[in-house]
Amino acid sequence: MDYFNETWSPNEEAALKCRSWYEWDDRWINGCNASSDSLICWPPTPAGVIVYQPCFQELRGILYDTTKNASRICYENNTWGLTDFNDCTILGEPKAVTYDEEGTVDTIIYLYIAGHCLSLIMTSLAIFVFCRFKELKCLRNKIHSNLMASYLLAGIMWILNYTNLTDTGTFKCALLVLPLYYFTMTNYFWAFIEGMYLFILVVDTFFTDRVRLRTYMAIGWGIPLIIIPTWCVTRLLVPTKNDLDLYNQITYERYCPLMASYVDDWIYQSPIVIVLLINSIFLVKIMRVLITKIRSTKSAETHNYKKATKALLVLIPLLGITFCLDMINPSSTGLLVNIYKFSKVVIISTQGFTVSLLYCFFNNEVQNTLKYHITRWQTKRKFLASRKKYGRSWLSVKQNNIICDHQLDPKELMPWIPANNVRSSSCVSNGTTTSALSNMRLPPDTTIEIPPEQQPLEDSKYVGAKP
């Protein structure tokens, strides 16, 4: 959740710092409100008064004398004048600036938005596939669907928070931030469930059929539902008014109290750390079993290493091990730090995209199911087109009228279709064609013309009209 600190420009941060610092100061109803010029925060001031503030410490790598003061006047019409920085003098040598901080923040914002949008699309498609086709409705895929749903909802809340948090008060802040923290926490717990399910399946097979979906649901959605409200209540009870010691640490979160860092954050942070540690243990134990099974095969050693590496790379995003990157936030600056930040942003924001790709669209079972239904749809479409094309020759009333009031058997229907309607296809099996035909039902009053040589017997289930 530290990525919020990385996606806020210095100007916006300074303005919200200032507004939040004096949020409870209503002494001057007729005067100028708290304001920031991006360098200094000016408190609420009565009209016609000049206020003085210490000069800023640093600007673009240049140090300034903080013992001097800058001044600003509040005019009689309750508006601020321009800040007078004439007394702020340079102190010492300029500091080396190795990168554009504001440009880096903008790049991080764009990467987060792009990554979350990509994840939203892929997780939505994956959830649709798992829910649409009954062949894929098993416990494993239901767990995958819940994990992807948590990524989907967390991504939506992240975008909503970023676009709306700048103008929020405490109440609106709670409405936006609480769902974000909740769904983000469900990411960790559903990743934990994925690890637990795999551990039971691979290592401790005794409990494979003993743990039901409702148990996993209670863990994945229920435990965060207890932790986050508890943390919220505790946070709102912590006094923050006039807490000037936090002024230098505070960012825009101070304007939204739930976003600031406080001691009571351990209420939701410690369960996340515990979940990641347990998943790391699951990963080690699962990999030991897999490597043992791989070594038991007669494949070449190099091939075995490739298999083990592939299994490891596939399991890491599923178990949420990549979230450990979010806990490492270097305070230094430089090219390598920027590369790390960008890499972390891409990996974390596209977590839903990666999991959906690996465990849905790259899955052989899913691919076979999609191919089957696409082929079935194509066969059905061809059959309907053929029936429409040849309907005048074999669906008419000329010689014999046969009333069909039941579902046609494909074996009985095929001899009546003209020979030139039968098309050979190398990609559609007989089973698929039969399945598509068996699901076709003609309208109740449809009449079929049968040539004299193909007249049904008297005991046939088709009853012909008298000539």
The answer on pLDDT for 261 being more than 90 is no
In a domain, 124, yes or no: yes
Name the residue range of residue 334's domain.
Answer: 101-362
Does residue 165 lie within any of the structural domains?
A: yes
Residue 354 has pLDDT above 60, yes or no: yes
Element (H, E) at 31: strand 31-32
Q: Cβ(405)–Cβ(444) under 8 Å? A: yes
Same domain, 294 and 395: no
Per-residue pLDDT averaged across 4-27, rounded? 51
pLDDT at 64 over 90: no
Q: Mean pLDDT for the chain?
A: 73
Q: Give the model's pLDDT for residue 36.
A: 75
Q: What radius of gyration, in Å, describes the C-alpha atoms of the chain?
A: 34
Q: What is the pLDDT of residue 99?
A: 44
Specify if 384 maps to a domain.
Answer: no
Same domain, 341 and 419: no
* Same domain assignment for residues 395 and 322: no
How would DSSP label each residue in 32-82? EPPEE-SS-EEPPEETTEEEEEEPPSEETTEEB-TTSEEEEEE-TTS-B--
Please give the average per-residue pLDDT across 109-114, as a whole number: 87
Together in a domain, 437 and 340: no
Same domain, 47 and 155: no
Which residue would you say has higher pLDDT here, 16 or 437? 16
One domain for residues 157 and 261: yes
pTM: 0.62
288-318 pLDDT per residue, tens: 888 888 888 777 767 777 878 888 888 999 9
Please give the residue that has the higher pLDDT: either 387 or 50: 50
Q: Dihedrals φ, ψ of 385, to 5°?
A: -65, -40
Q: Does residue 80 fall inside a structural domain?
A: no
- Percent of the chain whose predicted confidence (pLDDT) is above 70: 63
**What is the predicted pLDDT for the residue at 48?**
83
Count of C-beta atoms within a 10 Å radius of residue 372: 15
Give the DSSP letter of residue 447. E
196 shares its domain with 244 = yes
Among the ranges given (56-70, 328-342, 362-376, 379-393), the one the predictor scored with the smallest mean pLDDT? 379-393
Three-state secondary-structure class, residue 26: coil
Give the number of C-alpha atoms closer than 13 A to the C-alpha of residue 256, restricted to the C-beta side.
23
Asked if 182 and 313 sit in the same domain, the reply is yes
- Average pLDDT in the 80-97 region? 71
**Is the CB of residue 113 less than 8 Å from the CB of residue 350?**
no
Decide if pLDDT at 49 tops 60. yes
Total domain count, the chain: 3
Distance CA 155, CA 90 (A): 45
Q: Which residues pair with 447 in a beta bridge?
A: 403
Residue 454: predicted pLDDT: 47
- Residue of higher predicted confidence among 285 and 238: 285
pLDDT at site 185: 94
Are residues 174 and 221 both part of a single domain? yes
> Quick check: helix, strand or coil at residue 372?
helix
Whether residue 141 lies inside any domain: the answer is yes
Percent of residues, the chain, with pLDDT higher than 90 = 25
Q: Give the pLDDT score at 252.
A: 36
pLDDT at 79: 85
Q: Given pLDDT bands bounded at 50, 70 and 90, which one contains residue 175?
A: confident
pLDDT at residue number 225: 94
Tell me which of 2-6, 31-35, 130-134, 191-195 is least confident: 2-6
Residue 180 and residue 69 share a domain: no
Asked if residue 372 is part of any domain, the answer here is: no
CATH code of 259's domain = 1.20.1070.10
Which of the pair, 412 or 18, is modelled with greater confidence?
A: 18
CATH number of the domain where residue 49 is located:
4.10.1240.10
Confidence of residue 361 (pLDDT cuts 50, 70, 90): very high
- pLDDT band per the 50, 70, 90 thresholds, residue 260: low
In residues, how long is the chain? 467
Selected residue with higher pLDDT from 359 and 43 = 359
Mean pLDDT of 321-339: 81
94 found inside a domain: no
132 and 16, same domain (yes or no): no
Q: Is 371 part of any domain? A: no
pLDDT mean over 143-165 = 88
CB 337 within 8 A of CB 304: no
pLDDT surpassing 60 at residue 424? no
Measure CA of the first residue to CA of the last residue in the chain; give whole Å. Answer: 81
What is residue 368's predicted lDDT score, i.e. its pLDDT?
A: 92
Q: Which DSSP string corresponds to 142-201?
A: HHHHHHHHHHHHHHHHHHHHHHHGGG--HHHHHHHHHHHHHHHHHHHHHHHHHHHHHHHH
Amino acid 93: pLDDT? 52
Is residue 207 domain-shared with residue 327, that is, in the same domain?
Answer: yes
Does 7 or 146 have the greater pLDDT score?
146
Least confident range from 177-191, 237-251, 261-275, 336-350: namely: 237-251
**Lowest-confidence pick of 253-267, 325-339, 434-448:** 434-448
Question: What are the φ/ψ torsions at residue 403 (nearest 5 degrees)?
Answer: -95, 120
The pLDDT score that the predictor gives to residue 389 is 64
